[in-house]
Amino acid sequence: MTAEVERRLVESAAKGNEMSFEELVRANQGLVYNVALKLTGNREDALDVSQEAFIKAYKNLSSFRFESRFSAWLYRLTYNAAMDQMRKTRDVPTVSLTEEDEDDESQRDIPDPSPGPEERAQRRELQEEVRRAVLQLDEDKREVLAMREFSGMSYGAIAQALGIEEGTVKSRLSRARAQLAEILT
């Protein structure tokens, strides 16, 4: 979808045209779901995140300022919804202690494969350090880095979502990685 068509659809949807919003959903549902799935790693959570992102987009269409493509804005909404979803579910480990047998159902001691408290604390500390470093990047570098590294999007998909050339994506990503390495060292 071209930027011009996208803009007309957003303007029309912001005025209440539901068919225009449905067209925007159809054009972006694959991107939104794939981003959500890569971030959450769970099909059901990805569906919830996708729905949440589209609901937020619909409710906030009037505040969209066309500073970027709608698809890039929707990506940000999806990313934020996925982060919210992961915060809700990250500290809820489940391990089944029931083993079914042909004759009976009995309890077994099964070691919990999840990391211990010290390892979890170290991981959280490292994640927080990386998060702070990423936040120090310029918005354009941070956005491309998140789309590529956290969401696994291809250079072409990032270029399309942001409305920029693929070469620009590659150079921003290269500069973002270099700056991030500098910050972290």
Can you tell me the distance from the alpha carbon of 76 to that of 80, in angstroms, rounded to the nearest whole number? 6
Can you tell me the distance from the alpha carbon of 110 to that of 159, in angstroms, rounded to the nearest whole number? 47
The average confidence (pLDDT) of the chain is 82
Q: 5, 51 in Cβ contact below 8 A? A: no
CA 29 to chain centre: 13
Q: What is the pLDDT of residues 24-82, one digit of tens each?
A: 999 999 888 988 887 777 888 889 999 999 999 999 988 888 877 888 888 889 888 88
Residue 65 has a pLDDT of: 84
